[in-house]
Structure 1
Amino acid sequence: MVAKSDAGQARRRRRLTTAVKESLRDLRVQLALLNHRVGARVDLKDVDLDCLDLVNRHGPLSPSALAQQAGLHPATMTGILDRLERGGWVVRERDRADRRAVVVRPLRERNGELLRQYAGMNNLMDDICAGYDEAELELLAGFLRRVADAGRDATDDLAAG
């Protein structure tokens, strides 16, 4: 009887793991659609919005560091930065330490536009999180960090070979 119970538990665990993976795929699609809609409202391509987010979170960055973080070719990054700079989202400046180097710095004046576009999702997330206690939120945050790390590792593996 123990083997039958173990087999049932293994099947249930596989089903639950599959459900988590399917939910993450659904989440990816929904966030991509949300980002696409936000980008359209502020006149940014999806990739521009991704790069702007990276600069806002990790900047100032050199164009090559930004290209590496975004997984893009440096020549592609030039066009993206041209659009972001024309739109008043970023500025390219000489690095103070190395005047030959350029860094990309976000212009925070326009962040309010993005925050307004994401306000609905942020409010819904606050409502969802309110239904969890601190320990559950720590578990969820840890899980999502580990999933993001796994995504980076898988991306790096694909890029390497």
Structure 2
Amino acid sequence: MYRRRDTRREQLVADITNNLRRYAVDAQHVGHAFAGLHGLGATDLQALIAVMDAELHGDPITPGRLGEQLNLSSGSVTALIDRLERGGHIRRDRNATDRRKVLLHYADQGAAVAMEFFQPLGRRTDAVMADFTDDELETVHRFMTAMSATVREHRDAVRAESPRRTNG
């Protein structure tokens, strides 16, 4: 339902909210297209993103942490990791300092497949960001960081109210 906004700020907030919603839906469609091309389910894709994010932050994820992030049981996480490893998307490595600890990494084949698919999108987003000054990008970064944290907080609150999933 459309209603007239009284102030410029109200209109901007409504426009930004709509843009964020549309971005989330469009990004989800892109992710699903990638998953569909490679025989991956939604949980598989979430796992790959979690593995990639952890590696980008220099802190590879463990199976236990992956299960917590995805709200999966231990057995479901093992089946998920086995499936992704068989598909060449991830690999398991023992921690060099604690051999009991397993770390998950993006496999070379999985990284190559993702790069091929997402590289055109990367070029498009680079072109968009080139039109913004460093100061503007700092503001956008601060905004996106805060919005992402808010969404994660809400996700975690909703998850706490839901029973733990038992399968992927």
Q: Which residue of structure 1 aligns with residue 165 of structure 2? A: none
Q: Which residue of structure 2 aligns with residue 112 of structure 1? A: 112
> In the aligned structure 1, how far is the partner of 2:61 from the partner of 2:112?
21
5+ long unaligned stretches in structure 2: 162-168
Number of equivalences: 154
> In the aligned structure 1, how far is the partner of 2:95 from the partner of 2:136?
43
Q: What is the aligned counterpart of 1:44 among 33, 40, 44?
A: 40
Please give the residue correspondences for 1:41-80 in structure 2 after superposition, counting only pairs within 5 Å: 41-59=37-55, 60-80=60-80
Comparing both structures, which one devotes a greater share of its residues to helix?
Answer: 1
Kindly name which structure, 1 or 2, has the bigger radius of gyration based on alpha carbons.
Answer: 1
5+ long unaligned stretches in structure 1: 1-8
Matched, 1:149 2:155: no
> In the aligned structure 2, how far is the partner of 1:68 from the partner of 1:39?
22
The 4+ residue runs of structure 1 with deviation greater than 6 A are none
CA positional deviation for 1:146: 0.9
Q: Which residue of structure 1 aligns with residue 122 of structure 2? A: 122
If the length of structure 2 is used for normalisation, what is the TM-score?
Answer: 0.80
Say which SS state the counterpart of residue 26 (structure 2) adopts.
helix
CA positional deviation for 1:37: 0.7
Larger RCO of the pair (alpha carbons < 8 Å, separation 6+): 2
Say which SS state the counterpart of residue 137 (structure 1) adopts.
helix
Q: Which letter does structure 2 place at the counterpart of 1:79?
A: A
Greater mean deviation of Cα atoms: 11-20 or 97-106: 97-106
> In the aligned structure 2, how far is the partner of 1:73 from the partner of 1:12?
47
Matched, 1:35 2:31: yes
> In the aligned structure 1, how far is the partner of 2:112 from the partner of 2:20?
28
1:76-135 residue CA offsets vs partner (Å, 9 max, x unmatched): 322321210110112234444444443323213431211110122111111111111111
Identity percentage of aligned residues: 26
Superposition CA RMSD, Å: 2.2
